[in-house]
């Protein structure tokens, strides 16, 4: 049997955002009795209420794919998330501005209640934090900053800086997990190289209200400056008809857009999108994020696993970023638990972690290629290409087998699904 007592923890997760917290919950909640000792090191303080958002749990929304919902069901968190406010996506309308091509996807055609679900990140954060706080085997270390680490033969050693006095503390674990986002400190310190493409585009994020019910319909509209998405949101007391807006623009245009007043913003949005969703009557504070495609050339080393945005960042065109990270969580947690149940396997050995990397490689590459291709094809104004892509949208709309493939990929059915991805416990 593997001796656990020679390290402070079994695994240390650097980054307590959506992906890191989900991994801790998956390893702790989705099995009857977890013996894993888990530490989460997070640079920002965890807050039990909405008084101050941890950056990953701010007022933005994510579109959870159908399989992501099943992951949270397998973990045991979906009912908590659902109670806090979720909007199902029952229809998706895909169009190309200025052209006739349209594809429409319907949940009923796939025999599911919804193709996906729109959830505010603060809602997921609240459910995750409540669950983490109840687990005796999970230690939250926040605020704390990673200073350095060493990947040894038998353990990983981590030096962190905590408290107001900037005190240093050394922790050890069998496995170090990097879940610290696109600008991952762990990835940089480890020397893992990345492949990156700057799209020279930015995503302007906001919530908008309309004068018509959304009827659980999502829109993806391709424009010459990039895709524009409207995702149905759960109603509030003040706004009954809300959408989460992701408006992709050229980076050179973002400063001008962020200086528009609300009236100008809504007018420009109407010009760009049209009136399919009704009249836009209100808009929230806007946020802007530069867009790029990034993939780490390595996702595992001895004693190290890199997941979520630390391993890959995507264009938001297909809404797959967090879903891809959650599939990382589902696969890695299964590999860890299976190694633990084996009794003789060390969860930090490269031979163990390579099972995870091999499993996830196809999904990482396919999803990155698919989103990158969409950006390239639909941001190009070359007339013959525009004609072909619109013919493609029409063909997908009228050929059931093609539409099913398209819908299944959007729902997250990519390759062999882990147990959590099928809604099962670990």
**pLDDT of res. 51:** 40
pLDDT tens for 281-339 read 999 999 999 999 999 999 999 999 999 999 999 888 666 889 999 999 999 999 999 99
What pLDDT was estimated at residue 239? 83
Residue 38 counted as domain residue: yes
Does residue 422 carry a pLDDT above 90?
yes
Task: Check which CATH number belongs to the domain holding 366 and give it.
Answer: 3.50.50.60
pLDDT recorded at residue 388: 66
Whether 231 is in a domain gets the answer no
Residue with tokens 């013996």: 35
Per-residue pLDDT reduced to its tens digit, 355-377: 999 999 989 988 888 788 777 66
Domain housing 123? 4-86+118-196+293-380+397-422
The H or E element containing residue 242 is: strand 242-250
Angle at 365 between CA 231 and CA 202, to 5 degrees: 45
**CA neighbor of 380 nearest in space, from 211, 226, 177:** 226
The whole-number average pLDDT for the span 407-419 is 88
Q: Which of 411, 312, 424 lies closest to 368 in space, CA to CA?
A: 312
CA dihedral 382, 386, 387, 393 (to 10 degrees): 160
pTM for this entry: 0.92
Look at the block and give the residue holding tokens 């084996």.
342
**Per-residue confidence (pLDDT) for residue 236, from 0 to 100:** 86
Average pLDDT along the chain:
88
In terms of Cα–Cα distance, which of 282, 222, 224 is closest to 246? Answer: 222
What percentage of the chain has pLDDT greater than the value 90? 67
Residue 215 lies in a domain: no
Q: Which residues of 65-81 are buried (b: 16+ CB within 10 A; e: fewer)?
A: bbbbbbbbbbbbbbebb
CA distance 232 to 219: 9
Mean pLDDT of 142-166: 91
User: Contact 80/371 with Cβ under 8 angstroms?
Assistant: no
Q: For residue 32, what pLDDT is reported?
A: 66
Give tens-digit pLDDT for 255-290: 999 999 999 999 999 999 999 999 999 999 999 999
> For 64-108, how does the pLDDT look when each residue is reduced to its tens digit (9 = 90+)?
999 999 999 999 999 999 999 999 999 999 888 766 678 899 999
51-69 pLDDT tens trace: 444 444 445 899 999 999 9
Nearest to 330 by CA among 356, 296, 364, 293: 356
Residue 345 belongs to some domain of the structure: yes
Residue at 247 is within a domain: no
φ and ψ at residue 167, rounded to 5 degrees: -75, 140
**Structure tokens, 283:** 């808009």
Count of domains observed in the chain: 1
Least confident of 10-19, 97-106, 176-185, 298-307: 97-106
Sign of CA dihedral 291, 413, 373, 204: negative
What is the bridge-based pairing of β-strands 61-65 and 116-120?
A: antiparallel
Percent of the chain whose predicted confidence (pLDDT) is above 70: 88
Split at pLDDT 50, 70, 90, the class of 402 is confident
Query: CA-to-CA distance for 408 and 411, rounded, in angstroms?
Result: 5
Residue 197 CA to residue 159 CA, distance in Å, equals 32
Tokens of 136: 């005796």
Q: Which of 65-74, 169-178, 336-345, 376-385 has the lowest mean pLDDT?
A: 376-385
Question: Residue 79: its pLDDT value, please?
Answer: 96
As a whole number of angstroms, the distance between CA 207 and CA 304 comes to: 38
Q: Three-state SS across 264-296?
A: HHHHHHHHHHCCCCCCEEEECCCEEEEEEEEEE
Asked whether residue 405 is assigned to any structural domain, the reply reads: yes
Domain assignment present for residue 102? The answer is: no
The pLDDT, as a whole number, for residue 316 is 81
pLDDT at 395 over 90: no
Confirm whether 209 is domain-assigned: no
């Amino acid at each position: 049997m593997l001796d656990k007592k020679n390290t402070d923890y079994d695994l240390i997760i650097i980054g307590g955002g959506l992906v890191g917290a989900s991994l801790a919950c998956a390893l702790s909640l989705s099995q009857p009795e977890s013996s894993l000792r888990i530490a989460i090191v997070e640079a920002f303080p965890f807050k039990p209420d909405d008084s101050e958002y941890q950056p990953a749990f701010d007022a933005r929304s994510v579109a959870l794919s159908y399989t992501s919902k099943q992951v949270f069901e397998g973990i045991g968190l979906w009912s908590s998330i659902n109670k806090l406010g979720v909007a199902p996506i029952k229809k998706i309308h895909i169009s190309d501005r200025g052209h006739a091509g349209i594809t429409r996807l319907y949940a009923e055609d796939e025999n599911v209640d919804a193709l996906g679900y729109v959830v505010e990140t603060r809602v997921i954060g609240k459910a995750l934090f409540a669950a983490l706080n109840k687990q005796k085997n999970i230690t939250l270390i926040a605020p704390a900053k990673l200073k350095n680490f060493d990947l040894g033969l038998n353990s990983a050693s981590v030096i962190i800086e905590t408290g107001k006095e900037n005190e240093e503390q050394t922790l050890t674990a069998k496995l170090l997990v990097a879940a610290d986002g696109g600008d991952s400190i762990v990835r940089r310190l480890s020397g893992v190289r990345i492949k990156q493409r700057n799209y020279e585009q930015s995503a302007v994020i906001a919530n908008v209200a309309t004068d018509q019910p959304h009827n659980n319909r999502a829109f993806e509209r391709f424009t010459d400056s990039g895709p524009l998405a409207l995702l149905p949101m759960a109603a509030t007391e003040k706004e009954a008809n809300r959408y989460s807006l992701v408006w992709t623009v050229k980076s050179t245009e973002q400063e001008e857009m962020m200086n528009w007043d609300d009236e100008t913003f809504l007018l420009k949005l109407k010009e760009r999108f049209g009136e399919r969703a009704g009249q836009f009557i209100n808009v929230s504070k806007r946020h802007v994020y530069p867009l790029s495609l990034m993939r780490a050339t390595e996702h595992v080393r001895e004693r190290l696993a890199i997941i979520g945005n630390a391993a890959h960042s995507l264009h938001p065109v297909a809404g797959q970023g967090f879903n891809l990270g959650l599939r990382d969580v589902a696969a890695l947690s299964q590999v860890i638990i299976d190694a633990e149940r084996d009794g003789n396997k060390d969860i930090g050995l490269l031979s163990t972690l390579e099972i995870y990397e091999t499993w996830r490689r196809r999904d990482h590459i396919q999803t990155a290629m698919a989103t990158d291709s969409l950006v390239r094809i639909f941001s190009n104004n070359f007339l013959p290409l525009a004609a072909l892509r619109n013919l493609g949208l029409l063909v997908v709309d009228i050929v059931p087998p093609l539409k099913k493939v398209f819908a299944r990929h959007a729902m997250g059915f990519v390759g062999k699904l882990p147990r959590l991805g099928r809604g099962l416990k670990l």
